[in-house]
Amino acid sequence: MNPNSANQRWSKWIWFVAPGTITARPFKNVVENVARFARKGFGSASQMRIRETPKGYIVEVLSEGHPAHDPQFVKYMKDCFQKFFINGFGPDTQVRLTVKLMAGSRQDGTPADQMVVLPSLRVN
Amino acid sequence: MANGLYAIFKQRLLNKELDLDTDVITALLIDNADYSVNLTTHDDLADVAGAGQVATANLGTLTIALGVFDSADFSWTAVTGDQSESIILYDNTHASDALIAYYDTGITGMPVTPNGGNINVTVHASGWFSL
């Protein structure tokens, strides 16, 4: 895979979700449900990572093909996921979304961004 | 070559010369046409020819946990220069800019040809390296 080839656009979507006080759910259920919903929103070619922190969940999606430079599309995705999280965790759930274009053109005349994904190094 | 830690980095670490989560740690984009790594003998940034140094970025949110060194994702901004094939991590606080680690294998998106735009780097979920 070369994410920097022409006509590809990669983006990273990061949600921070502070669950509402009413609906507590096991982490395993959260992972399954978010994965199912994100697969519908982004398609199966995406990578997703969910972390549980003391203040809430961090959901990261690295995806190809979505117009992350388009504010209307970002708002649409934000609204969809916000509704999903509130349905799952309760009405006082706090949802924050950060979107970053990782590779591809912003279609504003500036040079396209490029992306590098590092491996981890294990020293025994 | 393969990814690895510089041998003298390990020595410096054991010798308490470096503090990875408080020092300024810099990621350097490297053009391998101008740099041939030697993990055994190279120890300082001076071992890396200037022509081979394409772009630098200081890392943020440095953490050490259970032997894993990690940082936030970062970007090299408005990068120009030669095609680049590898990445070096070095300690910018150390008096001679101590080399830490070298990566040229298993990097998605490499080699990368700078086009004047940003190069966004995603650090592995398991961090830069674990000891």
Write out the H or E segment, with its range, that includes residue B8: helix B7-14
CA distance linking residue B95 with residue B102, whole number of Å: 20
pLDDT over 90 at B17, yes or no: yes
Chain A contact set for B115 (CB, 8 A):
111-112, 114
In tens, the pLDDT along A41-90 reads: 888 667 889 999 999 999 999 999 888 989 999 999 999 999 999 999 98
CA distance linking residue B22 with residue B2, whole number of Å: 28
CB contact under 8 A, A115 and B105: no
CA distance linking residue B111 with residue B107, whole number of Å: 8
CB contact under 8 A, B125 and A112: no
> How far is residue B48 from each of residues A55, A85, B83, B99, measured CA to CA in Å?
43, 49, 16, 9
Do the beta carbons of residue B91 and residue B62 sit within 8 Å? Answer: no
CA distance linking residue B33 with residue B17, whole number of Å: 31
Token match 């700078």: residue? B114
Point out the residue among A49, A113, A116 whose CB comes nearest to the CB of B107. A116
Q: Cβ of B7 under 8 Å from any chain A Cβ?
A: no
Assigned token pair, A18: 């502070």
Chain A contact set for B69 (CB, 8 A):
none
Q: What DSSP letter does each residue of A45-106 carry, written as one string?
A: TSEEEEEEETTEEEEEEEEES--TT-HHHHHHHHHHHHHHHHHHH-TT-EEEEEEEEEEB--
How many angstroms away from the CA of A25 is the closest CA of chain B? 24
pLDDT over 80 at A91, yes or no: yes
CA distance linking residue B51 with residue B2, whole number of Å: 22
How many angstroms away from the CA of A45 is the closest CA of chain B? 15
What contacts B13, CB < 8 A, 6 or more positions away? none
Do the beta carbons of residue A118 and residue B112 sit within 8 Å? Answer: no
What single-letter amino acid sits at A91?
P
Chain B contact set for A117 (CB, 8 A):
107-109, 121-122, 124
Range with the poorest average pLDDT among A110-124, B3-17, B47-61, B72-86: A110-124
Return the CA Rg of chain A: 16
Nearest CA in chain B to A119: B124
What's the predicted TM-score (pTM) here?
0.88
CB contact under 8 A, A114 and B103: no
In tens, the pLDDT along B29-72 reads: 999 999 999 999 999 999 999 999 999 999 999 999 999 999 99
**Which pLDDT score is estimated for A124?**
64
